[in-house]
Each structure stands twice: as C-alpha cells, then as structure tokens.
Amino acid sequence: MQPSPSGHDVFFRQLFDQSTDLIQGITLDYNLAYISPSCSTLLKRSPEDLLGQPCYSHIYEDDLIRFQQAVEQLIHEQIPFHLQYRYVQANGSLIWLESKGSLIQIEHNLTGVGFITRDISEHKSIEENLTQMAYYDSLTTLPNRRLFQDRYYQSLLAAKRYQRKMALLYLDLDDFKLINDHYGHAVGDDLLKMVAARLSHCVRDPDTVCRLGGDEFVILLQQFEQKEDIVKVSERVLDAISSRFVIQHHDIFITCSMGAAYYPHDGSDGNELLDIADAAMYQAKRSGKNDIKL
C-alpha cells in the first residue's frame, strides 16, 4: 500500500492528510500501513505511535471482539464494514467512533482495507440522554413504566418459551401523602430516591425494580424456583422499607403494602397477571398495610 510518487498519488495523499475525518489504510494482516494526521486530534496519538500496530489496538475491550469480527468478515466474506464502537484515547478517555470500511484492490489484487472514521461522541451523548429520558425515571433513575412494560412482556415470553417461572411484586408506600404534607415535597422526593436504592439492593441482577409513578413501584422477579422465594424477597423489601430513613435531619418511618402474582400459577396472560398483583396490593392495604398478599 505504498503510493507511487505520481502527481495523482500525491494529490490524494495531501487530500487524506488534510481530512478532519480519520483515514486509515490496513494491511491484510490487520496492521496499520497509513493513518491520517487527524489521529493526533481524534485519538490523542501521533501517526508514528500507531503505524505498524494492529488496527484494533486501543479499541475498548467490550467492543473489541465485534470490531475484530467485522474486519475479518470484510476481508474474507466481503461483508460491508460499518461499525460504531468505543476507543480509548492516550489520556484514558473513552470516545465513540463510527467507521466505514472497504476493500482496496490494486490491479485486481486485494491489498488491504481502507477506513474512514469520525467522532460520534456528541451524537451518542444526545442519544443516551434521550434514551434516559424516554425509559428511566428522572427522580430515581429506575426504569420507568414504559421500560417496565417492555421488559415485563419480554420476560413473560421467555418464561413461556423456556418453561420458567416469573413473578410481579406491586408495591405502594403507605401514607406517603402524609410525609409530603408534613415535611414538604423535597423530603418526599429524597425519600423516594432512598426507597428506590433500598429496593434495588433487595433483588438480584436479573431482576428489575421500576418506578411506575408517584409512590408506586414494581419488582420483576425472574427464574426463581418456588413460591417461598417470592416470600423471601418480599420480606427483605418490607424490612428495608420499614427501617428508619434520615432525611434532612428528620427521622422518617414508613411502610409499604405489596401484592404479588406469578406465572404460571396465577395465569399466563400478561394483563391478567398485572391486574392480580395490583388487586393483591390493595388487599394488603385494606388488611392493615405493611404486608404482602400473594
């Protein structure tokens, strides 16, 4: 991939050198044969530091396999290369890059791969903020009702397909309005954030805690073995919520009422299970609060 000194080649070399996008030439053994000077700005590394290195050097580890597979598929299967991935700059910062690659042939012989790469970090930041706003509660940062609905029906489909069990725990704080009225909404908001944190510590990684709105939460339990597992989680939740909260120098005590429904024992229809859990939660409130009804 060494250019000849013809005027044509000099023209394109200068064009590449002046590009604000990153342009790379890669050999068939995946090493960098050319990289435009814009790498100093974009990657915080000089061309001299990168030439001769594997093209996947400094790709963020979680994206590395995807990148390597995409390059191999381009070279060996002619599958178009178009990838978004993260890169570790020389200062340790992560940036998002988008690369498009194509095969380079000279006199009908495949000699390498050309990449054009640009920084899409700002676009990704906007995208992530929009996702956060659309699917996560702004106060507690828990998944919101919209994301819950998506995860719930996906979990139900998986439970049916693989013959697993899953459960819903509806949770409503008891007399939360009194907290707001007595201490003010700022304390009430802090309480909701602390409740969300405690609920998250009561469940396992595969499980999901969501805030539906107000003082209503729901917990999605997956892959449990028996009904007693639901009871154990519920008891942990009741203990966690009934323990003292210290907010703005105030000792706050509150309880919650919970209702549970689980597949396949209580039904197989998604809406039916939601209604059963909701009804059980209100039954717990009517029977004295600070309780769980299955």
What was the pLDDT predicted at 192?
Answer: 97
CA distances from 80 to 24, 28, 76, 128, 292 (A): 16, 16, 11, 26, 55
Of 74, 93, 125, the last residue of a domain is 125
Do 248 and 157 share a structural domain?
Answer: yes
The domain of 71 spans 7-125
- Do 152 and 19 belong to one domain? no
How many residues does this entry show for the chain? 294
| pLDDT at res. 33 | 92
Query: Tell me, what's the pLDDT at 13?
Result: 62
The pLDDT value recorded for residue 96 is 97
Q: How many CB atoms lie within 10 A of CB 190?
A: 18
User: Do 81 and 220 lie in a common domain?
Assistant: no
Residues 289 and 181 in one domain: yes
CB atoms within 10 A of CB 18: 10
Model pLDDT for residues 20-32, shown as the tens digit of each residue:
789 999 999 999 9
pLDDT (tens digit per residue) in 239-259: 999 999 999 999 999 999 999
How confident is residue 7, by pLDDT bands cut at 50, 70 and 90? low
Mean pLDDT, range 36-54, rounded to an integer: 91
CA distance linking residue 206 with residue 221, whole number of Å: 8
* DSSP conformation letters of 39-78: HHHHTS--HHHHTTSBTTTTB-HHHHHHHHHHHHHHHHH-
Q: Give the residue, 223 or 281, on which the prediction is more confident.
A: 281
| Domain co-membership, 99 together with 185 | no
As for how many domains the chain has, the answer is 2
In a domain, 241, yes or no: yes
User: What does the pLDDT look like over 152-193, one tens digit per residue?
Assistant: 999 999 999 988 999 999 999 999 999 999 999 999 999 999
Do residue 192 and residue 273 come from a single domain?
yes
Residue 15 — very low, low, confident or very high, per pLDDT cuts 50/70/90? low
Which residues is 98 bridged to in the sheet?
A: 84, 118
Q: Is the pLDDT of residue 5 over 70?
A: no
What is the model's pTM?
0.70
Q: Are 256 and 149 members of one domain?
A: yes
* Position 228 pLDDT exceeds 80: yes
* Contact criterion met (CB below 8 Å) for 188 and 199: no
Instruction: Please provide the average confidence, as pLDDT, over all residues in the chain.
Output: 90
16 pLDDT more than 70: no
Say if residue 232's pLDDT is above 80.
yes
Residue 75 within any structural domain of the chain = yes
Which residue among 125, 159, 180 closes a domain? 125
Strands (E), 183-254: 208-213, 216-222, 245-247, 250-252
Residues 274, 167 share a domain:
yes
Six token digits for residue 255: 């309880």
Share of the chain above pLDDT 70, in %: 93
In a domain, 259, yes or no: yes
Angle at alpha carbon of residue 153, lines to 147 and 154, rounded to 5°: 85
Average pLDDT rounded to a whole number, residues 206-233:
90
How do strand 256-263 and strand 292-293 relate by DSSP bridges? parallel
- What average pLDDT does this structure show over 195-218? 94
Residue ending a domain, choose from 125, 152, 174:
125
